[in-house]
Structure 1
Amino acid sequence: MGFDSLSVQSMSSTFCVLFFSFTFLFSLFSLLLFILRLKPWCNCEVCRSYLSLSWAKEFGNLCDWYTHLLRKSPTGTIHVHVLGNTITANPENVEHILKTRFDNYPKGKPFSVILGDLLGRGIFNVDGDSWKLQRKMASLELGSVSVRSYAFEIVTSEIQSRLIPLLSSFAAAGQEDKVLDLQDVFRRFSFDNICKFSFGLDPGCLQLSFPISNFAAAFDLASKLSAERAMSASPIIWKFKRFLNLGSEKKLKEAIKTINTFATEMINQRREMGFSNHKDLLSRFMASIDDDNYLRDIVISFLLAGRDTVASALTSFFYLLSQHPHVEAAIRNELERVIGSSSPHQQQVVSLEQMREMHYLNGAIYESMRLYPPIQFDSKFCQEDDILPDGTFVQKGTRVTYHPYAMGRMERVWGPDCLQFKPERWLHNGVFRPESPYKYPVFQAGLRVCLGKEMALVEMRSVVVSLVQQFDIRVADPNQAPRFAPGLTATVRGGLPVLVQHRGTH
């Protein structure tokens, strides 16, 4: 009997060795086939530059290189063969993809697989009926006056109780030369806000002690590593690392485990407390959804959208404001006209109605996101062969990317002054007037247009109005142009070091 047991154990070990050897060899074979199919030795200049990274000698950011290529293209569209990616900065193409042939350009399975571990079946990672259901529910919730008022209360409270005291501490006497990472501040601020709004939880990330949140750190890491999957030369590479639980995939798995534990605790806590009288997003969705995993996916998706995009937009805005003090002065003048003259030492809370009257402020915010959109590009996957309005043929299965960052820098789209920061371009007889969303797809457009757009704009306006009233915020190195780190949203590599002073103290 002992011999039989030993024999079975030996056969089992042999089988395991053979199985993993076969899996490894099959993966290598699949990778070889993928490389052969892509023909990475493609002799075109674009593919050679991409594979060799020679573009980095001239351009600090990949998005700037793409902008350069799109400017040179007669149609505003290019194809990166080694990535199987058609990239466009043509507004007519954008409208075709996001509206006219919407059904032919879903997010697609490749995208869903890349972000599946983090976002699961959340609204930003699904198509079809699942997307329609979440879209309908989210539209009802986020569009209600009570929800928007609740969000405004949260933002106002966070500004008054934490953001202003924090900046005041850095602007205090004796602290004039102390550098503050404004990007980190805005990420903490946005994280507190979206956690309160989504979960009814206050993580307190913006407290003066700058506490470390394990959940926030895990969320950052998971977002970064998920985005890096999309930049991999082949999905087989990261899938193989995930299968063996190696390197970045091991870190991603651990980060997502932390996120899942946190989300589960929030759902259980809310269920124990009862959710019928709570205003947060989780409580509202729990009223109609019983599947805890589905709830987790939905709320994590909104957390990602509401935190990183707002923080990115605010970081870019204050970078540009530091470079253009005349815009800052114009915003202050408009503020005084709307609320009456005020002392820089006396903070006044501006109402939603008053902010709607600030047309120049709105123009400045839109102009900032034209040059530095929080989401620099977005991709879809073509289901059936198609021809774009500019004549570009798109083969079935091709990744199609529209590029808001490049579009904001295209002379044929915005005119010869496209590289200038000019809030006035959004004003007609002093009144703010938006452009076509296909010319300005910062909030997407068509059926997938951002549902949280108005709430994000209210949050941005509230922060800008509150800070320009009291502080002069200047980038520590004004000659340093932003360089972006890989991620799902535009994040400035190394942060945004600034100097903060109270107005009228220098």
Structure 2
Amino acid sequence: MSFASNIATTMLGLLKSHPEILLALSCFLLLRQCLGMLPRLLGKLHRVHDYCAEVVRASGLTLLFKGPILSKLDFIVTCDPANANHILKSAFADYQKGPDFPEIFDVLGEGIIVADDNSWASQRKSAHALFADAKFRGFVAEMSKGMVESALVPILTRAAELGEAVDLEDVFLRFTFDSSCKILIGVDSNSLSDGFPEVSFVIAIEVAEEVVLLRHATPMWWWKLMRWLNVGPEKTLARARETIDAYVMQTIREKREAICEASSSSSLPDMLSVYLQNGHDDKFLRDMVLNFMIAGRDTTAAGLAWFFWLMSKNPHVETKIYEELKARFGEDDVQQFKVFDAESLHRLVYLHAALYEALRLYPPVPYNHKWAAKADELPSGVLVEPGTRILISMYAMGRMKEVWGEDCGEFTPKRWITKHGTVKYEPPHKFLAFNAGPRSCLGKDMALTQMMVVAAAMIYNFKVEAVEGHVVEPRISVILHLKNGFLAKVRKRRDC
């Protein structure tokens, strides 16, 4: 008798004499079938972005995730650029946000982030016309430079003089919140000021982002039950939404009253004023403000925070950017701080390359959520059933050697520079920080403008050093925030 037969005979005897073992084994197998891969995901939720990259890498860039039976948590995860190009561009009409997406992101209402079909097309057309307006673009560029000069530099100067550690992600979130308020609603919120005043609206947005990501890993019936009972994370989200709605609706009322009084109307081309004058109702305006606030504030701030964390880990890159700035602008009086306008920074190749490389490794929006309207086959050969949810992981794509080469995990700005010394172009479906296809980011130019103006001013005038022992890792959120912020010491460049 073979060894395998002996084992089988022994197991059968054990099961006959101890039927409870058979029952326990059957329950285990049934539970595993019912729960699918969810328990494993929940066990890795604290490092969900890196875990996703690991399992997708092991699965050849595309993975079918099986959730619990009847949970609607089955979905395809991919970081294959060919699949991304197909989903986001070639077969764009067949891949939508889907019927579940507005429910998961219900806090965003019917804004452009969650909208599909005609609603999305109409909102994008209106926003595109405004973003393309030369007066509006000039306003954004001048406002960004002015805020760096009047708010960011003074705050960093004070931190340098006191020798205090400062959470740079918090600083950037306040900077982008203040600038987004000016762009969207024409208001000076002054959150980036001495004492760092608490802004309940901002806290509520961050709470909402965390709960929304948890919904992705929770059966829909379960979080809907919690929402109905008003318990757990759903109770927290409900309170956050009350705060969000109160702030936005008060802003709309005040802006409407100001426009009605000709003497009080603002000459600045903020978005809310433009949309109000076009006759939109309060519900539309509420959703517009919130959607663009999250798109403009959170993504740019997260991108800047990861960029400067990478600078602290790669001081040779910071030095090369500083040398590029000196070569382009010279060295002014070392007693004076210098702030640059966006137009003068466009020819700085290495600064561009370093920003793109940071966005490749740490895309502010780590996932793109899609839903298949009909049956299809992806370029990788994966069959897609109607109603299938798909997650494109931009975070994982930046870590795939099949996409970016053997050094994919390294921070290497030179990969973005051609042999002719110009910024290298990469197709959007490979570099997905600003999305691809018809839904590509409308605010890409504005975001890059802000990032370049901030990065150039900080590197030219200051040196940033991470606080020793401070742990930096991604937070569980739909935006790639830093879990513990980024604690750093700032020194004046002339004192280094």
Over 3 Å counting, the alpha-carbon distance change for 1:290 and 1:230 in structure 2 is same
The question of whether the paired residues in 2 share the 8 Å contact of 1:152 and 1:458 is answered with: yes
The question of whether the paired residues in 2 share the 8 Å contact of 1:194 and 1:306 is answered with: yes
SS, match of residue 431 in structure 1: coil
**Cα distance in structure 1, aligned partners of 2:330 and 2:386:** 59
Instruction: Tell me which residue corresponds to 1:440.
Output: 431
CA distances 1:199-220 after superposition (whole Å, capped 9, x unpaired): 1112211101111112222222
Instruction: Tell me which residue corresponds to 2:65.
Output: 80
**Cα distance in structure 1, aligned partners of 2:181 and 2:295:** 12
Using the TM superposition, name which of 315-324 and 496-505 deviates more: 496-505
The question of whether the paired residues in 2 share the 8 Å contact of 1:372 and 1:405 is answered with: yes
Q: Pick one of 203, 207, 225 that aligns with 1:240.
A: 225
Q: What are the within-5 Å matches in structure 2 for residues 289-304 of structure 1?
A: 289-304=279-294
Instruction: Tell me which residue corresponds to 1:164.
Output: 153
Cα offset, 1:352, TM superposition: 2.4
The residue type paired with residue 144 of structure 1 is D
Instruction: Tell me which residue corresponds to 2:342.
Output: 352
Q: What are the within-5 Å matches in structure 2 for residues 284-363 of structure 1?
A: 284-363=274-353
The question of whether the paired residues in 1 share the 8 Å contact of 2:466 and 2:487 is answered with: yes
**Cα distance in structure 2, aligned partners of 1:241 and 1:415:** 45
SS, match of residue 215 in structure 1: helix
Instruction: Tell me which residue corresponds to 1:273.
Output: 258
Over 3 Å counting, the alpha-carbon distance change for 1:343 and 1:468 in structure 2 is farther
The question of whether the paired residues in 2 share the 8 Å contact of 1:276 and 1:287 is answered with: no
The residue type paired with residue 250 of structure 1 is K
Q: Pick one of 376, 386, 400 that aligns with 2:376.
A: 386
Over 3 Å counting, the alpha-carbon distance change for 1:45 and 1:474 in structure 2 is farther
Q: What are the within-5 Å matches in structure 2 for residues 358-373 of structure 1?
A: 358-373=348-363
Q: What are the within-5 Å matches in structure 2 for residues 485-496 of structure 1?
A: 485-496=475-486
Cα offset, 1:423, TM superposition: 0.9
Instruction: Tell me which residue corresponds to 1:21.
Output: none
The alignment's TM-score, normalised by the length of structure 1, stands at 0.87
The residue type paired with residue 70 of structure 1 is V
Q: Pick one of 141, 150, 153 that aligns with 1:152.
A: 141
Instruction: Tell me which residue corresponds to 2:466.
Output: 475
**Cα distance in structure 2, aligned partners of 1:276 and 1:109:** 39
SS, match of residue 236 in structure 1: helix
User: Does residue 1:120 correspond to 2:109, yes or no?
Assistant: yes
**Cα distance in structure 1, aligned partners of 2:280 and 2:298:** 28
Cα offset, 1:143, TM superposition: 1.5
The question of whether the paired residues in 2 share the 8 Å contact of 1:203 and 1:213 is answered with: no
Cα offset, 1:263, TM superposition: 1.5
SS, match of residue 124 in structure 1: coil
The question of whether the paired residues in 2 share the 8 Å contact of 1:334 and 1:358 is answered with: yes
Over 3 Å counting, the alpha-carbon distance change for 1:221 and 1:43 in structure 2 is closer
- Give the CA RMSD over aligned residues: 2.0
**Cα distance in structure 1, aligned partners of 2:206 and 2:113:** 17
User: Does residue 1:461 correspond to 2:452, yes or no?
Assistant: yes
CA distances 1:157-215 after superposition (whole Å, capped 9, x unpaired): 2211111111111111xx33x21111111111111110111111122111011111122
User: Does residue 1:137 correspond to 2:126, yes or no?
Assistant: yes
**Cα distance in structure 2, aligned partners of 1:48 and 1:42:** 11
The question of whether the paired residues in 1 share the 8 Å contact of 2:38 and 2:217 is answered with: no
User: Does residue 1:450 correspond to 2:436, yes or no?
Assistant: no
Over 3 Å counting, the alpha-carbon distance change for 1:395 and 1:430 in structure 2 is same
SS, match of residue 477 in structure 2: coil
Over 3 Å counting, the alpha-carbon distance change for 1:434 and 1:343 in structure 2 is farther
**Cα distance in structure 1, aligned partners of 2:350 and 2:268:** 36
Using the TM superposition, name which of 486-495 and 127-136 deviates more: 486-495
Instruction: Tell me which residue corresponds to 1:253.
Output: 238
The question of whether the paired residues in 1 share the 8 Å contact of 2:466 and 2:489 is answered with: yes
Instruction: Tell me which residue corresponds to 1:263.
Output: 248
CA distances 1:199-249 after superposition (whole Å, capped 9, x unpaired): 1112211101111112222222223223322232x1111211211222322
Instruction: Tell me which residue corresponds to 2:206.
Output: 220
SS, match of residue 323 in structure 2: helix
Q: Pick one of 65, 71, 93 that aligns with 2:57.
A: 71
The question of whether the paired residues in 2 share the 8 Å contact of 1:344 and 1:469 is answered with: no
Instruction: Tell me which residue corresponds to 1:205.
Output: 191
Identity of aligned residues (%): 35
SS, match of residue 300 in structure 1: helix
Cα offset, 1:343, TM superposition: 4.6
Using the TM superposition, name which of 295-304 and 482-491 deviates more: 482-491
The question of whether the paired residues in 2 share the 8 Å contact of 1:345 and 1:470 is answered with: no
Cα offset, 1:479, TM superposition: 7.6
The question of whether the paired residues in 2 share the 8 Å contact of 1:63 and 1:406 is answered with: yes
CA distances 1:43-62 after superposition (whole Å, capped 9, x unpaired): 999556325x1x47xxx621
**Cα distance in structure 2, aligned partners of 1:326 and 1:320:** 11
**Cα distance in structure 2, aligned partners of 1:48 and 1:278:** 52
Cα offset, 1:254, TM superposition: 2.0
The residue type paired with residue 457 of structure 1 is L
